[in-house]
Amino acid sequence: MAKLPVVKGDAAIKAFGEAGFHLDHWSGRHAILYHPDRRHLSIPGGKKELKAGTLRTLIRKAELTVDEFTKLL
């Protein structure tokens, strides 16, 4: 299994944007992103680093592998 990168919320939003997700709206501190095939993600935005479990869950919900996500950064 590939090592999970340390990523801040804003960088994760940008990386998932490269994967085809688009920013729909903000709900408090969370960015809500949608994919054309109806998948959605809720990502805590900002300069704080995402916890490993949160990032792993987001990658899994986006149907990406850790390697694919790392290449998008």
Q: Summarize the confidence of residues 57-69 as an average pLDDT.
A: 94
The string of pLDDT tens digits covering residues 42-52 is 999 888 899 99
Contacts made by residues 58-66, CB under 8 angstroms, sequence distance 24+: 58/12, 58/16, 62/16, 62/19, 62/21, 62/35, 63/39, 64/19, 65/2, 66/1, 66/2, 66/3, 66/4, 66/5
Six-digit token string for 31: 């960015």
Q: Which residue has the higher pLDDT, 3 or 23?
A: 23
Q: Above 70 in pLDDT, residue 1? A: no
The domain segmentation of the chain, as residue ranges, is 9-72
CATH architecture of 9-72: 2-Layer Sandwich (3.30)
